[in-house]
Chains A and B, each alone.
Chain A
Amino acid sequence: NAGVTQTPKFQVLKTGQSMTLQCAQDMNHEYMSWYRQDPGMGLRLIHYSVGAGITDQGEVPNGYNVSRSTTEDFPLRLLSAAPSQTSVYFCASSYSVRYNEQFFGPGTRLTVL
């Protein structure tokens, strides 16, 4: 099992550009989520999904979209990048929302100029 994979590892964008951060898991996990981690702020939940076709907003959803068309994939889209979105992004998954241990991907470091 590859676990949770994320691409790219690093990305530099200009303000106003759009892009998609990819996240995939091969553990047949129902629950998937996206976090951003900023210095002094801990991990903050952006969006999550409790199963294919179901997504919902977390603490900081503005400026981001998600979709969950398959169990395996949970991409995060930045619609119009802003410098405030410079951060490290982590994708995580767990067997179900009731099963609490989350497995994290390696992260994507995004810089918006």
Chain B
Amino acid sequence: EDKVVQSPLSLVVHEGDTVTLNCSYEVTNFRSLLWYKQEKKAPTFLFMLTSSGIEKKSGRLSSILDKKELFSILNITATQTGDSAVYLCAVHTGNQFYFGTGTSLTVIP
């Protein structure tokens, strides 16, 4: 059975801290891994990763994939209150997408 597991389930940090969110997966027919941000509404796309070891960056956010160990991490440096959200990891396999349960991040001023 295909599955995606995210950790931690929730995280509370202070502004300026750096956080690392984890996503591990066990799927057949892996195509890509995607990260989304969800702020009490529809998820919005952050990154898509298909190759191991190649870091994707967007401002203070970065992500990397390890296809041998079957996991990905999402790093957020110098966190801001606007980073407070649920971060979702999804794996694209065949014609379907499997989502993890998400990590809820709260950034305190």
Contact = CB atoms under 8 A, between A and B. Distances in A.
Interface of A: 33, 35, 40-45, 48, 50, 56, 58-59, 90, 97-98, 100-107
Interface stretch (B11-19, B74-82, B90-98): B90-98
Q: What is the size category of the interface that chain B forms with chain A? A: 20 to 34
Interface of B: 4, 31-32, 34, 41-45, 48, 88, 90, 92, 95-102
Given A43-B90, A100-B48, A101-B48, A90 B42 contact: yes
A106 B41 contact: yes
A40 B42 contact: no
B90 A101 contact: no
Contacts of A90: 42-43
Given A42-B88, A43-B43, A90-B42, A102 B99 contact: no
